């Protein structure tokens, strides 16, 4: 797929990738159902980066614990809230470290950690910071993985594969070459169900 090429969303076609099917069997001992096909593999995070982030957040937690033990009530309350926030952030980074990315099949999202999540249970959420945009993936309300949105053909293929299996046009807003992205209205609060009932 060439960069800046126009994608014909209506006529997207994906075929079973036998190499990825073999990889799932050899690496994770996951055998697909007879009517299940694997279309795409996408790496969302690097374990090295996740490890560095976890170490950094643990140092911040240590700082807040020291404040909590040595300071007055107001600072203790602030440190306590910060402690809880950093625990949640560390949990997300640990899950990013474990899961790393996804295989997309017509029935499941399968993490690099070997966990199968039925497509009916998958939700996603737009997340952004000053410098980065992410798609957060959830198994109903349970966090799975964040995927960094960059201008890569791998991300584009991943988004197109998700659209192919779900027909959920909202996911296309994350595709960097999609013209509708400029006028996209991302929902930053509510998780979106991948497969609409």
- pLDDT of residue 10 exceeding 60, the answer is no
Residues 172, 130: Cα–Cα separation, whole Å: 22
What is the reported pTM?
A: 0.77
Residues 46, 177: Cα–Cα separation, whole Å: 24
Residues 196, 169: Cα–Cα separation, whole Å: 10
Residues 7, 60: Cα–Cα separation, whole Å: 44
Q: Where are the domains of the chain?
A: 23-44+104-197, 45-99
Mean pLDDT of 1-6: 41
Coil vs helix vs strand at 80: helix
Mean pLDDT of 37-56: 86
Mean pLDDT of 67-93: 76
Mean pLDDT of 69-88: 74
pLDDT tier, 142 (very low <50, low <70, confident <90, very high otherwise): very high
């Amino acid at each position: 797929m060439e960069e800046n090429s126009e994608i014909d969303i209506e006529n997207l076609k994906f075929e079973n990738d036998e190499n990825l099917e073999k990889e799932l069997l050899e690496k994770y001992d996951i055998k697909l159902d007879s009517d299940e096909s694997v279309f795409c593999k996408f790496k969302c995070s690097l374990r090295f980066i996740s490890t560095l982030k976890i170490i950094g957040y643990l140092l911040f937690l240590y700082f807040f614990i020291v404040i909590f033990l040595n300071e007055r009530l107001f600072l203790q309350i602030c440190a306590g809230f910060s402690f809880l926030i950093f625990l949640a952030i560390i949990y997300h980074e640990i899950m990013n470290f474990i899961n790393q990315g996804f295989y997309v099949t017509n029935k499941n999202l399968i993490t690099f950690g070997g966990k199968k999540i039925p497509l009916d249970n998958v939700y996603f959420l737009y997340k952004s910071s000053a410098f980065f945009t992410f798609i957060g993936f959830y198994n109903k309300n349970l966090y799975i993985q964040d995927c960094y949105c960059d201008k890569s053909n791998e991300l584009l293929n991943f988004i197109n594969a998700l659209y192919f299996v779900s027909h959920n046009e909202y996911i296309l807003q994350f595709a960097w070459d999609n013209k509708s992205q400029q006028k996209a209205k991302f929902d930053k609060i509510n998780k979106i169900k991948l497969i609409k009932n």
